[in-house]
Amino acid sequence: MKKLIIASMLMFATMVFADGKILTVKIDGMTCPSCAASVESQFEKLDAVDSVDISLRKGTAVVTLKEGKNLKEDDVMNAVKDAGFKVIEVSGLN
């Protein structure tokens, strides 16, 4: 029974995760948890954003959008700029 519940939860999580579009933003200069929190905070202000996962090691923000929502490149660039950083590359916009 436990295995069935765990399998159901994993399947549901995958389905929810797959609903939103995912952007990967390579960011220059993020070096500490405070940097990550600043970038995450700026992205979370955007209505289209469902979640943000920051990797300091990779220097990226993986942004999951709400189902049916999109962001313009300018929105992404401004969010990172407002956090005090510079975008190197964005993938997944189109």
Dist. CA 35–CA 83, nearest whole Å: 8
Bridge partner residues of 53 (DSSP): 62
CATH class, domain 20-91, is alpha beta
Model-level pTM? Answer: 0.77
Element (H, E) at 65: strand 60-65
Tokens of 77: 């660039």
Contact 10, 32 (CB under 8 A): no
* pLDDT for the residue numbered 1: 59
DSSP secondary structure code for residue 66 in this structure: P
At 11 the pLDDT is: 44
Low-confidence ranges of the chain (pLDDT < 70): 1-19
Q: Is 20 helix (H, G, I), strand (E, B) or coil?
A: coil
